[in-house]
Amino acid sequence: MCPMCRLILATPEGQQMVAALREGIWILLIAPFGAAIVVATAIVKSRQRLASRLSRAD
């Protein structure tokens, strides 16, 4: 890390920037996983409905 960056991060404003960055990283990590869970749930429910319809037809 460069000396200027180290100096900025030592200030209270720098600590706020670090906290905001960490929060943003979490949001960017959680959003795709959340979307994948929603899609996977929809696929599973769709397959269950299809299997239920096919078993009724027999």
In sequence order, what are the residues at sequence separation of 6 or more whose Cβ sits closer than 8 angstroms to the Cβ of residue 1? Answer: 9
Q: Residues 3-58: pLDDT tens digits?
A: 888 888 889 998 999 999 999 999 999 999 999 999 999 999 999 999 998 888 76
Please give the angle made by the CA atoms of 8, 12 and 16, to the nearest 5 degrees: 90
Amino acid, single-letter form, for residue 32: P
Q: Residues 46-57: pLDDT tens digits?
A: 999 999 988 887
Q: How far apart are CA 23 and CA 42, in angstroms?
A: 29
